[in-house]
């Protein structure tokens, strides 16, 4: 018994010693890995900030900004991208989803693992009000959401990656995607099989609410899902002096719009974020005539597919019932064939943590922030449904140049100092991802 007791003590002691050594060994390994990551990040950022490289980035961004193109019309933008990829010697598949393309950089033809980087290309129907040398040359169209910068940063990453292609431990797919603004270009990229077998994907979006040189994100839900609706209410028109002879669609529309807000205030758990917004109303043009028809439309948003489905059902029910009270009829169109609903954007925790570590090595821990979720929507969400994905916001705010205007503003301005940062971040995340996952194959 005594010998058994002594043996047990010795075994326990050895176990404790081993258990204390494992974290130490892991810590040494992680420290070494962190040092290598910092060296990689620093090298990539220094390359991207070299005057000739930075001038090249600015030249590309300004050229795209001067010639904005709407969803599925990005022909010149696509041509510019292909020309730059050709000059770099980077191979690509084109066309994908009509105007998009997917480039490949790697040490071998299509060598696994595969990691993807994505940039959107389309502009908005907005008249630019910023007076500068490279203002939009197309009336009524503008890059007011930073997609010109997104394309530029991804081309910058292509150049950095191509310079290291023989060292890459896998393949990086560069996704130049059309039609993010409401037309679900990401959905069609996936539908055409452009990213089959990709094991992870990163997206960046410029963000005017945080300073240049900072990034932010979060694991799990970061952006809401969003759907759109268009309503047509039919009544009976009449002279304003005889409302009793009408079936007033203006009154019916007013009642329906107010009642939609009660779905949020009285049917939704206050701890669950949902939004219904009516963005336009069209009625008659005469002040003394009750019109026959009123049209209005808007969006609904939630962080869960179930929430979106519930809102979609209740919006129709509330509108039809409220309109019926006023003796009118209504049709509700969710326009899913032309404006596919966007699911919530969900960040994969492991990939988020990986990109966060890269960001900290690139910019310093104090410049990598945790962000609250936002009710804005992005079609990057389609990727996050199919592939482990991570979406980061990258700062462009600079007080000196007043680059704090919100996205989709006609006065939107970008601090171009973000371009080399975004290029280096893209490349560093991809390279280090391949390094880690090559060992797991």
CATH architecture type of domain 225-333: 2-Layer Sandwich (3.30)
Q: Annotate 401-423 with b (16+ C-beta within 10 A) or e (fewer).
A: eebbbeeebeebbbbbbbbbbbb
Indicate the pTM of the whole model.
0.89
The rounded distance, in Å, linking the Cα atoms of 105 and 85 is: 11
The two structure tokens encoding residue 374: 């936002």
Alpha-carbon distances, residue 361 vs 28, 35, 46, 170, 354 (angstroms): 17, 9, 13, 22, 11
Chain-centre distance for alpha carbon 44: 24
- Check residue 440 and give its pLDDT: 59
Which residue from 384, 349, 395, 406 is spatially nearest to 225, judged by alpha carbons?
384
pLDDT at 98 over 90: yes
For residue range 263-309, list pLDDT tens digits in order.
Answer: 999 999 999 999 999 999 999 999 999 999 999 999 999 999 999 99
The rounded distance, in Å, linking the Cα atoms of 344 and 382 is: 8
- Domain locations in the chain? 38-223+345-438, 225-333
- Cβ atoms of 374 and 226 closer than 8 Å: no
Beta-carbon-side half-sphere exposure of residue 181 (alpha carbons within 13 Å): 22
Top pLDDT among 339 and 216 is at: 216
8-state DSSP, 163: T
- Cβ atoms of 266 and 258 closer than 8 Å: no
The two structure tokens encoding residue 83: 């020309």
Write the DSSP string, 66-117. Answer: HS---TT--HHHHHHHHHHHHHHT-EEEEEETTTEEEEEEESSTTPSSEEEE
- Check residue 47 and give its pLDDT: 97
- Check residue 301 and give its pLDDT: 98
- Cβ atoms of 397 and 297 closer than 8 Å: no
For residue range 128-165, list pLDDT tens digits in order.
Answer: 999 999 999 999 999 999 999 999 999 999 999 999 99
Phi, psi for residue 117 in degrees, rounded to 5: -120, 140
The rounded distance, in Å, linking the Cα atoms of 308 and 234 is: 27
Q: Under CATH, which number does the domain 38-223+345-438 receive?
A: 3.40.630.10
The rounded distance, in Å, linking the Cα atoms of 162 and 172 is: 10
The pLDDT > 70 percentage for the chain reads 91
């Amino acid at each position: 018994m005594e010998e058994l007791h002594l043996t047990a003590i010795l075994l326990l002691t050895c176990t404790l010693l081993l258990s204390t050594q494992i974290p130490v060994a892991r810590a040494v390994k992680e420290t070494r890995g962190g040092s290598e990551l910092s060296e990689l990040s620093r090298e990539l950022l220094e390359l991207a900030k070299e005057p000739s490289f930075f001038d090249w980035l600015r030249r590309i961004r300004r050229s795209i900004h001067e010639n904005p193109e709407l969803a599925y019309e990005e022909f010149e933008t696509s041509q510019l991208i292909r020309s730059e990829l050709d000059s770099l010697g980077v191979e690509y598949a084109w066309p994908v989803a009509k105007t998009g393309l997917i480039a490949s950089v790697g040490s071998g033809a299509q060598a696994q693992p595969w990691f993807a980087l994505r940039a959107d290309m389309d502009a908005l129907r907005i008249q630019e009000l910023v007076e500068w040398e490279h203002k939009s040359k197309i009336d009524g169209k503008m890059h007011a959401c930073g997609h010109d910068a997104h394309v530029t940063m991804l081309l910058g990453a292509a150049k950095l990656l191509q310079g290291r292609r023989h060292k890459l431990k896998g393949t990086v797919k560069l996704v130049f995607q059309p039609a993010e603004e409401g037309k679900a270009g990401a959905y069609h990229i996936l539908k055409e099989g452009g990213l089959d077998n990709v094991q992870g994907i990163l997206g960046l979006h410029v963000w005017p609410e945080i300073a240049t040189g900072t990034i932010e994100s979060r694991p799990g839900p970061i952006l809401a899902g969003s759907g759109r609706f268009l309503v047509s209410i039919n009544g009976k028109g009449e002279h304003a002096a005889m409302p009793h002879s009408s079936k007033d669609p203006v009154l019916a529309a007013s009642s329906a719009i107010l009642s939609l807000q009660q779905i949020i205030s009285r049917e939704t758990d206050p701890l669950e974020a949902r939004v219904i917004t009516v963005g336009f109303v069209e009625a008659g043009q005469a002040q003394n005539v009750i019109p026959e028809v009123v049209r209005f439309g808007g969006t609904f948003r939630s962080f869960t597919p179930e929430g979106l489905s519930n809102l979609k059902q209740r919006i129709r029910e509330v509108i039809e019932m409220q309109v019926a009270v006023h003796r009118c009829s209504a049709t509700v169109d969710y326009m899913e064939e032309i404006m596919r609903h966007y699911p919530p954007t969900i960040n994969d925790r492991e990939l988020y943590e990986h990109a966060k570590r890269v960001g900290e090595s690139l910019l310093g821990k104090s410049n990598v922030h945790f962000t609250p979720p936002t009710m804005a929507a992005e079609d990057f969400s389609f990727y996050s449904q199919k592939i482990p994905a991570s979406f980061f916001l990258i700062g462009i705010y600079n007080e000196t140049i007043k680059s704090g205007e919100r996205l989709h503003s006609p006065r939107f301005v970008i601090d171009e100092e973000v371009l080399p940062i975004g290029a280096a971040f893209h490349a560093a995340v991809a390279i280090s991802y391949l390094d880690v996952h090559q060992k797991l194959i």
